[in-house]
Amino acid sequence: MKENLYIIKIGGNIIDDEEKLASFLESFASLHVKKILIHGGGKVATSLAKDLNIPQQQIDGRRITDEATLKVVTMVYAGLINKKIVSQLQSMQCNAIGLCGADGNILLAHKRPVTAAGVDYGYVGDVNAVASDAVQSLLKGFDTLVFAPITHDGEGQLLNTNADTIAKEIAIGMSTLYDTTLIYCFEKNGVLMDKDNNNSVIPVINGVSYQELLSTKNKNGEPVIAEGMLPKLSNAFATIEAGVGSVVIGHALQLEKIIKGESGTKMRL
């Protein structure tokens, strides 16, 4: 039987709130299992870019990573946030190692090509491969790894990469070696039927109900699956389809309940 491995992704809303982050990290630290945390960036990078007068360009809500912005996200994600999380985990007797995708060649990526519509996202990386042997080697010595969403192209170039995607890729990459669970943590209790009602969690979504949900409207005539939720669900399904045993979307402050199967939205094939 394979050993359990939890891949847990937390988003910017938790990173930006010191109390919530500490509370999440307490639950995370108390999981005495092999686990990998992937953190997003939060508002710190945007605020640092502003302080440095580096204009932030967005196309369709996605950040363009020019050279100056890449420096900012490398500093904030792989430096400030990653090491702050690791030092907090250490204070909770959780012996974590903080990494980015260049470390151990763990997340090899390529610079996203200019799109057909001519959009150049800049130094943004799409993951080619996860060095699962390197991750396994680290997990032999340390129960806990913490990843910043920075990858590299193997030719000396760091790249900014979506943290949800990294979580998916690591979960898929590790699933041949471990009994892997992927948990996307965010600020709601799961995928909601009514976005204003945190008690309207859809407990299970499978391939069929997913397709139905995509075309379901709420009482106000809006799609139940809001735009921001689409990439998360799409990543979640791609992970399940690639053979990862368990994928859950739930609230960052209900980690223990999610793991017990008492909270969040579970994905099924």
CB of 104: closest distance to its own copies in angstroms? 5
- The tokens describing 45, both together, are 């990078």
* Whether 103 contacts 137, CB under 8 Å: no
- Binder of its own copies out of 157, 200, 206, 218 (CB under 8 A): 157
- Characterise 156 by phi-psi region: left (phi > 0), alpha (psi -120 to 50), beta (else): left
Which among 263, 116, 112 has a CA at the least distance from the CA of 190?
263
User: C-beta of 74: minimal distance to its own copies in Å?
Assistant: 5
Cα separation, 65 vs 121, in Å, equals 6
Residue 166 near its own copies by CB under 8 A: no
Other CB atoms within a 10 A radius of the CB of residue 28 amount to 25
**134 is a site residue for its own copies (CB under 8 A):** yes
Q: Which of 1, 19, 118, 140 lies at the binding interface for its own copies (CB under 8 A)?
A: 140
- 222-231 burial, b at 16+ Cβ within 10 Å, e below that, comes to eebbeeebee
Cβ 130 to its own copies, closest distance in Å? 14
> What's the closest the beta carbon of residue 145 comes to its own copies, in angstroms?
10
Residue 233 makes contact with its own copies by CB under 8 A = no
Q: Verify binding: residue 172, its own copies, rule CB under 8 A.
A: no
Given candidates 155, 219, 220, 227, which one binds its own copies under the rule CB under 8 A?
A: 155
Number of residues that bind its own copies (CB under 8 A): 41
Rounded alpha-carbon distances, angstroms, from residue 27 to 20, 61, 123, 174, 189: 11, 32, 34, 23, 16
Interaction of residue 177 with its own copies, rule CB under 8 A: no
Closest CA to 32 of 115, 124, 94: 94
Can residue 50 be called a binding residue for its own copies (CB under 8 A)? no
Q: In the complex, which residues of this chain contact its own copies (CB under 8 A)?
A: 51-52, 71, 74-80, 82-84, 86-88, 90-91, 95-100, 102-105, 134, 137-138, 140-142, 150, 152, 154-158
